[in-house]
Amino acid sequence: MPAKPPRPCRQPFCPNKTVEAHGYCEQHKDKAVHWQNNRHSEKRTRGRKWQATRERILRRDNGLCQPCLLADRLTPATQVDHIQPLSDGGTDTDANLQAICKPCHDAKTRQEAERGRQR
C-alpha cells in the first residue's frame, strides 16, 4: 500500500508537512494533545449516554435552574452542570449534577476558570 502523501501542518502559517493523523508537524505536535482532548470531550457531551443523563437531571430538577431556585427565582434550565467540576475531583454521578440556566452556568464557569488561574 502506498504511503500517505504529506499534507500541510494544521498550525497556521507553518510551512512544514506531515503524514500524522492529528495533522501537526514535528515542531507543533504538542498541539495534537489539545486536539485529541477536544474530540473526547465532544464525544462525552454529545453521546447517547450523556443525553440520557442530561434529560434525567432536567426532569429530576423539574426543568428549573437550581442556583436561581436557591435565590428564590424561577428560571428554566437549559443545561446540566457538574456541581463539583471534574477537574476538581467531581464525578458524573447524578448527585454531582444540577440543572442550570445559561447565565448561571456562564458565571459559574468564569468563577471556576478564575480559581484555576490562581492555583
**69 pLDDT higher than 70:** yes
The residue among 25, 29, 27 whose CA lies nearest residue 7 is 25
3-state secondary structure 24-88: CCHHHCCHHHHHHHHHHHHHHHHCHHHHHHHHHHHHHCCCECHHHHHCCCCCECCEEEECCCHHH
State the pLDDT at residue 29: 85
Is the pLDDT assigned to residue 51 strictly greater than 80? yes
pLDDT confidence bin for 23, thresholds 50/70/90: confident
CATH numbers and ranges of domains, the chain: 25-118 (3.40.1800)
